[in-house]
Each structure stands twice: as C-alpha cells, then as structure tokens.
Amino acid sequence: MGAEAIAMDPRVNNERAISCYEKCGFKKVKILKKHELHEGKLEDCWMVEYKQL
C-alpha cells in the first residue's frame, strides 16, 4: 500500500523549487499565510500536492 497523495509547503518566493515540483506533477492548492518562520520572519508558503490518478 502506497501513499495516495504527497503534500509539501515551499515558501512562495522559492520559485525555482515550485517550478520543479510543477514539472513533476505537483499542483498548487492554496497559499498558507505566515506559515513558516524563516530568519526571524513569518513567510507565506504554497501548499502543493501530488495525487495518483
């Protein structure tokens, strides 16, 4: 039994990673506001998800 879906949450300004994930079949689901603490600042992240068909 494998996973039906995989989710990740890259920061919105990490365009290179997001582009790579989309090329691998991940879809943007929603923006998570002030989701991740990075260098003392809360930053927005994209929730991206890959689902098997």
β-sheet bridge partners, residue 48: 8, 28
Q: What is the pLDDT of residue 1?
A: 63
**Close Cβ partners of 29 (under 8 Å, ≥ 6 residues apart):** 7, 46, 47, 48, 49
Q: Which of 9, 30, 13 is nearest to 21 (CA)?
A: 9
What does the pLDDT read at residue 5? 94
pLDDT for 53 beyond 80: no
At 6 the pLDDT is: 96
pLDDT digits (tens, 9 = 90+) for 7-50: 999 999 999 999 999 999 999 999 999 999 999 999 999 999 99
What are 8's two structure tokens? 């990740």
How would residue 3 be classed by pLDDT, with cut points 50, 70 and 90? confident
Residue 7 makes CB contacts below 8 A (sequence gap 6+) with 29, 47, 48, 49, 50
Tell me the domain boundaries of the chain.
Answer: 5-51
